[in-house]
């Protein structure tokens, strides 16, 4: 079987019988990849910022829901769950729990924060000794941090509301 010769004298192989004018050159493919990368570089950061803002707002909404459930728990039992009982006391009666427990106080399991970490709950609170501490550790899952890695707390739960090192949008 004879192969047609190209202009350089080499053999031209067309395995898929595609007309030559429909085949992309390597240079055309690289040019398209560069354009796509440039577009992603322009659009990517604002999209990621919006995604981060959405996660913070989700954490704030979940914290508000958990605070409401904790308040209902306290109305029924006279106290908040201990640190040891934790937020699990909102969905199942603690072993040494009050006979006045009327839960579950949440529909479904206790949610994790938007980054897949458990919410931090302490009663009595370290920052709020008269009540409880309830917050997300942020994107990095560690205490402290700045920006998206800062702790996310609800204003008004603690004495000072939102404090330094805490994500605020």
CATH number (domain holding residue 121): 3.30.700.10
Report if residue 88 sits inside a domain. yes
Report if residue 140 sits inside a domain. yes
Residues 6+ apart with CB under 8 A from 98: 76, 77, 78, 79
Token code pair at residue 142: 């560690």
Report if residue 148 sits inside a domain. yes
Distances (CA, A) of 9 to 15, 18, 25, 48: 19, 20, 19, 52
Report if residue 133 sits inside a domain. yes
Q: What is the CA radius of gyration of the chain?
A: 29
Report if residue 104 sits inside a domain. yes
**In this structure, what are the phi and psi dihedrals at residue 101, rounded to the nearest 5 degrees?**
-60, 125
> Of 112, 110, 88, 92, nearest to 102 (Cα)?
92
Report if residue 144 sits inside a domain. yes
Report if residue 158 sits inside a domain. no
Count of the separate structural domains present in the chain: 1
The answer to whether residues 115 and 141 touch, using CB atoms and an 8 Å cutoff, is: yes
pTM, full prediction: 0.67
One digit per residue, pLDDT tens: the chain, 169 residues?
555 555 555 556 666 676 666 667 778 888 899 999 888 888 777 777 778 788 999 999 999 999 999 999 999 999 999 999 999 999 999 887 778 999 899 999 999 999 999 999 999 998 888 899 999 999 999 988 898 899 999 876 554 443 333 444 3
Domain span at 110: 52-153
Report if residue 98 sits inside a domain. yes
């Amino acid at each position: 079987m004879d192969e047609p010769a190209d202009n350089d004298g080499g053999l031209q192989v067309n395995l898929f019988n595609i007309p030559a004018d429909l085949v992309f050159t390597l240079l055309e493919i690289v040019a398209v990849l560069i354009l796509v990368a440039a577009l992603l570089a322009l659009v990517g950061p604002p999209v990621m910022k919006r995604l981060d803002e959405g996660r913070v707002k989700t954490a704030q909404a979940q914290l508000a829901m958990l605070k409401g459930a904790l308040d209902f728990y306290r109305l029924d039992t006279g106290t908040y769950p201990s640190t040891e009982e934790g937020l699990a006391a909102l969905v199942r009666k603690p072993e040494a729990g009050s006979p006045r427990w009327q839960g579950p106080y949440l529909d479904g399991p206790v949610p994790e924060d938007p980054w897949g970490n458990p919410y931090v709950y302490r009663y009595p609170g370290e920052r709020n000794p008269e009540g409880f501490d309830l917050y997300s550790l942020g994107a990095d899952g560690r205490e402290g941090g700045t920006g998206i890695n800062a702790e996310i707390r609800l204003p008004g739960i603690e004495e000072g509301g939102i404090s330094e090192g805490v994500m605020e949008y």
